[in-house]
């Protein structure tokens, strides 16, 4: 008798633990074949990548700095996913979130202290990101526009708006580079080496700042919201079946708008790390593709905050370790590192469930199918 493996539930340690690891191993296997084809020892390359990501405190700082951005964008995609929405607009929402931070700080950084500026900057990033996500959400809920198409187009619109504003309106007078003046130091998110220095710990300077703690706090918020609140239950129910949700008295249109606004706010928080924590001014292209990579992070993390943190760390290693790899081995170009990252995205995203039927069959050899289905 043939078994429909897709309907067989697996324990969490297999579903969000073993299968993602197997996908990564598959991606690394094919990446190793590419390296062998150009005469590079894959084992040596992996060693350089790991050392470049964790070998010294500055490398760890850079790895966690990238990880912070991926946590924000991964969570943003995951919240929308649970409502059966595919938010591809994280890039634009992060961009507009940065605009919110810039406007607040350019207006108030000369008058308010740090204790007020930091919370205001975080709120502005979230509100502007949510507002940018609200428009596609409303179009989807009340006009039937497809969220994928609208969020893609809103990425282009956000980019165009930012170029216009930074070139013509917000640019610092007398300079050619399209960026604002630097914010007052009272508006800077403290760096991690400064924070640890307050406790007598000396580490090398890196872009890592206290936004990492905020990203972890957002992960806890998302977990509580989705799995421990009535609103999260409504969101998941509407995502599974709008008809069932209506029958239960849930309003799917309100759920769509709420989910997208939360998703947009989380994506907007990328500006907290980049604008408040690192650049300390508003500038072009600071999202740098984090919004798109967040899709792969969310898929790899199975849309669960714990999985997203682990996937974000993996992509942080790929970004930082990959840069070290391109520096140490000239035959491995930056484009090849991007290709390796693409393979991991391919196997963890588009082919995420490719190995699941085999895992299910092996699992059923140790546990009767009747017992698994009944559980």
State which residues of the chain have pLDDT below 50: none
| DSSP H or E segment with residue 138 | helix 114-143
Residues 6+ positions from 51 with CB-CB distance below 8 Å:
59, 321, 324
Residue 341 burial (CB count, 10 A): 18
Q: Which of 251, 224, 223 is nearest to 237 (CA)?
A: 251
Distance, CA of 183 to chain centre? 26
Q: Which of 194, 223, 212 is nearest to 272 (CA)?
A: 212
Q: What pLDDT sits at residue 350?
A: 66
Residues 6+ positions from 350 with CB-CB distance below 8 Å:
none
Q: What pLDDT sits at residue 196?
A: 92
What would the pLDDT profile of 202-254 be if each residue is shown by its tens digit? 889 999 999 999 999 999 999 999 999 999 999 999 999 989 999 999 999 99
Q: What pLDDT sits at residue 3?
A: 63
Residue 106 burial (CB count, 10 A): 17
Cα separation, 131 vs 147, whole angstroms? 15
Phi, psi for 68 (deg, rounded to 5): -60, -45
* Helix 356-366 and helix 19-37, axial crossing angle in degrees, nearest 10: 130
Strand partners, 179: 283
Cα separation, 260 vs 258, whole angstroms? 6
How many residues are there in the chain?
375
Sign of the CA dihedral with 213 first, then 216, 222, and 223 last: negative
CB 268 within 8 Å of CB 125: yes
Q: What pLDDT sits at residue 26?
A: 84
Residue 217 burial (CB count, 10 A): 10
Q: For the chain, state the CA radius of gyration.
A: 22
Cα separation, 73 vs 289, whole angstroms? 10
Q: 325 — alpha (psi -120 to 50), left (phi > 0) or beta?
A: alpha
Residues 6+ positions from 277 with CB-CB distance below 8 Å:
188, 189, 191, 207, 209, 210, 211
Q: What pLDDT sits at residue 143?
A: 92
Sign of the CA dihedral with 239 first, then 243, 247, and 252 last: positive
Q: What pLDDT sits at residue 369?
A: 66
Residue 272 burial (CB count, 10 A): 29
């Amino acid at each position: 008798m043939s078994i429909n493996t897709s309907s067989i539930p697996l324990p969490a340690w297999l579903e969000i633990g073993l299968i993602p690891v197997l996908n990564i191993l598959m991606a690394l296997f094919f990446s190793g074949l590419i390296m062998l084809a150009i005469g590079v020892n894959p084992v040596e390359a992996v060693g350089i990548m790991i050392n470049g990501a964790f070998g010294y405190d500055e490398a760890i700082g850079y790895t966690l700095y990238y990880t912070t951005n991926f946590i924000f964008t991964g969570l943003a995609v995951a919240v929308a996913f649970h409502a059966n929405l595919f938010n591809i607009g994280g890039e634009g929402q992060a961009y507009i979130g940065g605009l919110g931070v810039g406007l607040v700080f350019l207006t108030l950084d000369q008058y308010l202290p740090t204790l007020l500026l930091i919370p205001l900057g975080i709120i502005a990033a979230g509100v502007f990101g949510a507002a940018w996500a609200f428009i596609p959400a409303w179009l989807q809920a009340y006009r039937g526009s497809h969220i994928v198409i609208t969020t893609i187009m809103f990425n282009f619109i956000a980019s165009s708006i930012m170029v216009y504003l930074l070139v013509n309106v917000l640019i610092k007078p007398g300079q050619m580079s399209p960026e604002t003046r630097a914010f007052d130091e009272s508006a800077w998110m403290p760096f991690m080496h400064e924070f640890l220095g307050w406790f007598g710990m000396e580490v090398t300077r890196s872009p890592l700042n206290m936004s990492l703690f905020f990203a972890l706090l957002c992960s806890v918020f998302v977990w509580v919201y989705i799995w421990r609140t009535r609103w999260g239950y409504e969101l998941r129910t509407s995502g599974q079946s709008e008809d069932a949700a209506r029958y239960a008295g849930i309003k799917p249109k309100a759920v769509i708008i709420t989910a997208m606004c939360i998703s947009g706010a989380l994506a907007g928080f990328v500006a907290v790390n980049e604008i408040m924590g690192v650049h300390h001014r508003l500038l072009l292209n600071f999202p740098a593709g984090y919004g798109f990579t967040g899709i792969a992070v969310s898929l790899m993390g199975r849309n669960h905050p714990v999985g997203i943190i682990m996937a974000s760390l993996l992509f942080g290693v790929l970004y930082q370790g990959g840069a070290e790899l391109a520096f140490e081995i000239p035959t491995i170009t930056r484009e090849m590192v991007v290709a390796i990252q693409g393979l991991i995205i391919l196997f963890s995203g588009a082919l995420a469930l490719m190995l699941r039927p085999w895992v299910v069959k092996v699992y059923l050899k140790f546990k009767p199918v009747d017992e698994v289905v009944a559980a």
